[in-house]
Structure formats: structure tokens, C-alpha cells
Amino acid sequence: MAEFYGVKSVMKKGQKVCNMTDRMPTILEGEVLVGVAADGTHAVAVDLTSESDYQKFSREYDEGRYRKIDLYTLPKKEIPNCQDEGPVLLNEIENP
């Protein structure tokens, strides 16, 4: 099961690399791949470092469960600073 992080923290401390695609981007040693997945109302930040978690969320994106998934790389050392805050309203991250 995928691990969740804080959306705002990931967006602040991570590096945006691209939007969700069929192919998982390459990440460097010492980093995790995090998807900030938005359903139109809320967003969550999920660890997509494992190929199986990436493919699961890619399928859910293709099926329309999420409208947008932005991919970020995050240094593993920042994980303790990105505690899960649950789903975040999109207007809270679009207009901080």
C-alpha cells in the first residue's frame, strides 16, 4: 500500500518533474517520487516510487478518478518533514 505525505510540504520541498504519464520517470538514489493527485476538489500526495503504486495511480488517472497528477521528486531526508495531512482542498494549495 502506498504511503501518503503532506501535499503542501511536498509542493514546497519537492521538485516538480512532470505530470502523470504512462512511463514512470527515473528518480535518483536518495529520492522518492511523489504524485500530487487532484480529483477536482481535493488533493493528496502519494509515494509512487514503487512501480506497482505508480501503475495503480496511472490506471486510476486514466479511468478519471483523478483529473490531474503532478509528479515531484523529494529527497528521502525530507520525508519526516512532510507528514500526511489528509486530503487538502484545492483552493488551499492554488491560493495559499
- pTM value is 0.93
Residue stretches of the chain with pLDDT short of 50: 96
The one-character DSSP state at 63 is T
Q: How far apart are CA 63 and CA 89, in angstroms?
A: 22
The residue extents of the domains of the chain are 4-94
31-43 pLDDT tens trace: 999 999 999 999 9
